[in-house]
Structure 1
Amino acid sequence: MISSGSLGLVEAFPNKIPHKPDYSHPKGTSPWPKYGEKPNANTPEVKAWAKLVDWSKVPKLPIRKVKSPGDAPECPKHDVPKSDCWWTCTGCYAPDDVVDCPGKNAWGLTFDDGPQPGTTESLLALLKEKNVTATFFVTGMKSAKAPWLLQDTLEQGHHLASHTWSHSGLTTLTNEEIVAELKWTEKYIYDHTGYKIKYYRPPYGDVDNRVRAIATQLGFTTVIWSNEWDTQDWQLEENTISSKQIVNIFKNDLQTLPKRKNGVITLEHDGDPKMITMARTLLDMGLAKGMKPMDIAQCLNDPVGYNAVPKKPEPKFESVKKPQEELSSSKNEPPKSSPIPDNADNKATTPPELSESDSNDESVSNDESISNGESISSGESVSSGESISQQSVKKVSGALPSSNAAGLSVALWTLAAVAASLVL
């Protein structure tokens, strides 16, 4: 199956991060936004990132209201214009939103809100047992608490994507705050894995055309989930739903598969042990119905799944001899011929003597090839374009020794000398 790991892209990380229960920096020294808070939009980094956006192409839509910072927005009592394409309150999907997998029975397996030490490891073990890959939509703030889990996820061949930094509803943020949420998460993942993320999922699915326009210009693709395929497992942590209810929801979803032309993308989470137990149950149910779990990159036939990947390290080989050195070191190989000096008076000199060890080789006659297996006859041209007469050919063959152990080297030396004499 196509995944980041199966493509051999995970060769080495910039630095392998040790597993630590708390990877937080000493107080006041972390270069990253604070945990649980929206990133500050008034920083040099965010100002520089904001310049990547052509703001004339971003719709001037209202900032949505929210009861508590970080929550999903409230839907207004009045009708929302269709041109807003606000998913949260109208269920609108834009043409470029990733909602389904194109392939029949393809199952885009996704998990949000991690990484979470203690539960993400259990999920990784489950997926390894089932031999399937998934996409992990991680938040920047949780990644900063457990960056080794990003590397563990990639090493198992899974796919990383963004769930923003603080998990705030994006339509409730200013333009610059949206930039900060997306780019800080991208930067953290890139700095700690070498992978530059391509896909993001807006928290709560909260996206409108303003958010889309900003995200698209920053290089991100919006991924939501298939209609009615939210497993509702996030309620397990809040004890507002039972495991039996989730199973019944998923069972009803499975009954719609025969009528579907495309595959599906499901929404699950990895923030609580109860979610991992439920993930096993749902995975077994889907596999029994012929569903084919895969990460979003594979679901979309995207062979890379990122905007940038780590450069594979150059292979290290032992030093080897150059081809000419290998030839000259082989048995019975003639010594290298010396080129005619530039200041030679165009006079041929005597060819080098051959050792007695070469006397067993066959002789080269007038009819044998001298260069590249081709014989030189009267009227045949040499590199200078001049022809060699029959008498010259006899002169060449007579100058050759009876052994051809020197073969090509001596022949070439002799030809060069004869060619030089013709210029006289």
Structure 2
Amino acid sequence: MVSISLFILGALISTVISQECVPYTSSYDFTGYPEIWEKPNSTLFNSAEFKQINSTIDWSKVPKVTPHTLSSSGDIDQTGYSSSDPDCWWSYNLCTTPKAHGLQPDATICPEPGAWGLTYDDGPNCSHTVFYDFLKENNQKATLFYIGSNVAQLPNEAQRGLADGHHICVHTWSHQYMTTLTNDEALAELYYARKAIKYVMGITPLCWRPPFGDVDDRIRAIATQLNMSTIIWDLDTNDWNEAPDGTETSAQVDTTFQGFVNMGLNGTYNNSGTIVLEHELDNNTMSKAIEWYPKIKAAYKYLVPIASCLNITQPYAEANFTYPSFAEYISNG
């Protein structure tokens, strides 16, 4: 019966994808932004707007770290990097406590015992109606890490995320490995993604998550001067790596989810909670999120968005937007 239900669910989401993933025009004008899904370039850097933003950064507080490079396979090349990890480079050593002065540690866990910090990356997705409806029906809020290019292409879908009460954070403009970018490129990836969110949704997020987790003290310092804290994760579901685009089978992803459910049941998080990486990426990831949600909810005391798990009641620069504290959130759950 379960397999039949999941088949029907997958078919339903696939149908919604075919119905919804049709390009549409909107009244929003993204002239002056980077090209959709393109890394910002020198033409943009010469604009008066970018020069003004660049001038607000105290570059003396940004560590002088040479950008990393990509290998022929598209992964980051770590050849020659010091084993002492001088730059607190997450991709090298999963470092989340900066070594440069004046930078706050990355958020990786929810401090409340038994809490599962619910996050979904890579939205908004053109086919997320079934998924968002599911969250709404379960009175469940999450932290959504939105890509600027997606917001520009899908403003209606982005607006729904906020309207449904989810916590919105930045996931850069075009989903690059951030430590491979120049200072100007990294600044533009963060600035224009947040600008798009402000333009479409009316909020200025104070948080971001680096694509692939790729961050070091240079990138943290740039984000910090934009008043954005860095949120990583403690557990990775590997939902993003399911075939055909990834290398894992559906059963392997299920095994990872089951392992995390077991951790909730066996007391692993009795002293503090966790922040978990999931995705709004495609049919596979959203189907997995729906499938495993009841089991996760049964295994953990609380499923909460990151703003509530960290007791951040003003997650945006705009003072008129407030968010429930942890105690307030669970009392309304």
Q: Which of the five TM-score ranges fits, normalised by the shorter chain?
A: 0.7 to 0.9
Contact 1:140 1:164 in 2 (8 A): yes
Deviations 1:362-420 (A, max 9, x none): xxxxxxxxxxxxxxxxxxxxxxxxxxxxxxxxxxxxxxxxxxxxxxxxxxxxxxxxxxx
Q: Is the 8 A contact 2:151 2:200 kept in 1?
A: no
Matched residue, 1:114? 123
**Partner residue, 1:288:** 298
Q: CA separation in 1, counterparts of 2:252 and 2:319?
A: 41
Instruction: Kindly indicate whether the alpha-carbon contact (under 8 Å) linking 2:116 and 2:300 is maintained by their aligned counterparts in 1.
Output: no
The CA distance in 2 between the partners of 1:218 and 1:25, in whole Å, is 28
Aligned-residue CA RMSD (Å):
2.4
Deviations 1:102-139 (A, max 9, x none): 11111111111111111x22221111122110011011
Contiguous gaps of at least 5 residues in structure 1: 1-18, 313-424
1:92 pairs with 2:95: yes
Q: CA deviation at 1:239?
A: 4.4
SS of 2:179's partner is helix
Which one-letter code corresponds to 1:293 in the other structure? L
TM-aligned CA deviation for residue 150 of structure 1: 1.5
Which residue in 2 is equivalent to 1:101?
Answer: 110
**Greater than 6 Å deviation, 4+ residue runs:** none
Question: 1:21 Cα deviation (Å)?
Answer: 3.9
Q: CA separation in 2, counterparts of 1:63 and 1:217? A: 19
Pairs within 5 Å for 1:1-400: 21-23=22-24, 30-40=31-41, 41-67=45-71, 72-94=75-97, 96-118=105-127, 120-226=128-234, 229-236=235-242, 238-257=245-264, 258-260=267-269, 261-308=271-318
What are the superposed Cα offsets for residues 181-200 of structure 1, whole Å, 9 maximum, x if unpaired? 01101111111111001110
Q: 1:55 to 1:239 in 2, by over 3 A?
A: closer
Could you list the runs of 5+ residues in structure 2 that have no partner in the other structure?
1-19, 98-103, 323-333
The TM-score normalised by the length of structure 2 is: 0.81
Residue pair 2:261, 2:296 contacting (<8 A) in 1 also: yes
> Compared with structure 1, are the counterparts of its residues 128 and 56 closer, same or farther at alpha carbon in structure 2 (3 Å cutoff)?
same
Once residues 138 and 29 of structure 1 are traced to their aligned partners in structure 2, the CA distance between those partners, rounded to angstroms, is: 16
CA contact (8 A) 1:196 1:309 kept: no
CA shift for structure 1 position 25: 7.4
Greater CA radius of gyration, 1 or 2?
1
Percent identity of equivalent pairs:
37
Which whole-Å CA distance do the structure 1 matches of 2:291 and 2:30 have between them?
43
Letter in 2 for 1:174: T
Q: Give the alignment's TM-score, normalised by structure 1.
A: 0.64
Q: Name whichever of 177-186 and 303-312 sits farther off.
A: 303-312
Distance 2:75 2:131 in 1: 26
CA deviation digits over 1:240-288, x for unaligned, max 9? 2122211211222233341332111111111211111100122122111
What is residue 330 of structure 2 aligned with on the other side? none
Per the alignment, in what secondary structure is the counterpart of residue 256 of structure 1? helix
Amino acid at match of 1:61: V
1:311-337: CA deviation from partner (whole Å, max 9, x where unpaired): 79xxxxxxxxxxxxxxxxxxxxxxxxx
Give CA-to-partner distance per residue, 1:163-202, whole Å, 9 cap, x none: 0001001100111111100110111111111100111000
